[in-house]
Amino acid sequence: MTKLTHIDESGRVSMVDVTEKAVTTRRAVATGTVLMSGETFAQLQSGDNPKGNVETTAELAGIMAAKKTSDLIPLCHPLPLSKVRLHVSYNEGLPGVKVTAEVRTTGVTGVEMEALTAVSVACLTIYDMLKASDKAMRITDIMLLEKQGGKSGDWVAPKT
């Protein structure tokens, strides 16, 4: 197992020193799913939601969350993000929605946490906007799909 980078020799937590790391282009893509009843899914598709446009609000919430990741996750470095894109897509077969986030930066540390935070908050926003119709919705399968850049190189999640 790889040594944990946020724990020092005496077992204390610390922010990783990235001073000597090379600046590279970094990219991460994450995804998550919100499962809901067929009735709630139909309401979502119709656009008839008293709280407003669910997709646009969730996408905006995800972008804002990515920018605040270092305020939310202890020991996470603040990063100058160059791109944050979220996409909410309908999936009638679930029924529900898939949320995908892509985050980019040029820096010394990766943007995996920013992509995962963006997806998580977008999913929570969808739940919040539809909870009056369906309190049994489930947020599932939040995961990193791929990352590019940095010393460890590129990585793509295995197909399941």
Catalytic residue among 8, 17, 71, 128: 128
Report d(CA 114, CA 116) in Å as an integer. Answer: 5
Contact residues for 93 (Cβ-Cβ < 8 A; gap 6+): none
Lookup: tokens for 45: 């598709």
Is residue 128 flagged as an active site residue?
yes
φ and ψ of 78, to 5 deg = -70, 135
Report d(CA 21, CA 16) in Å as an integer. Answer: 11
Report d(CA 129, CA 34) in Å as an integer. Answer: 12
The residues that are catalytic are: 128
